[in-house]
């Protein structure tokens, strides 16, 4: 399933400089898995397929809501994350 949310990175997660530039922006993500260890244990995580962003814990996403794949692709392209 595809979602959109505002990316608000926490200090607990180590993101690259490129990913930190997405802070405060609306991003499109895909549902991932339940994190099984570390400070985010038990939380669901999300990711941007075919990107170098890596996984994002749910707590770093504000206003998470489901969207269509068409809208998800539009968001990804607008952020320059399309390959």
Question: Which SS3 state, helix, strand or coil, does residue 60 take?
Answer: helix
80 inside domain: no
Domain boundaries, position 54: 2-22+32-75
27 inside domain: no
pLDDT digits (tens, 9 = 90+) for 64-83: 999 999 999 899 888 887 65
If one counts the domains in the chain, the total is 1
Q: Compute CA 74 distance to the chain's CA centroid, rounded to the nearest angstrom.
A: 15
47 inside domain: yes
- pTM for the model stands at 0.87
Residues of the chain under the 70 pLDDT cut = 82-83
Distance of alpha carbon 17 from alpha carbon 69, whole angstroms: 27
């Amino acid at each position: 399933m595809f979602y959109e949310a505002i990316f608000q990175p926490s200090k607990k997660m180590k993101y690259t400089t490129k990913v930190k530039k997405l802070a405060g922006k609306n991003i499109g993500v895909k549902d991932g898995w339940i994190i099984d260890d570390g400070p985010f244990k038990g939380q669901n995580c999300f990711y941007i397929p075919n990107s170098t962003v890596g996984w994002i814990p749910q707590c770093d996403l504000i206003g998470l809501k489901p969207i269509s794949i068409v809208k998800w692709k539009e968001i990804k392209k607008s952020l320059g994350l399309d390959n």
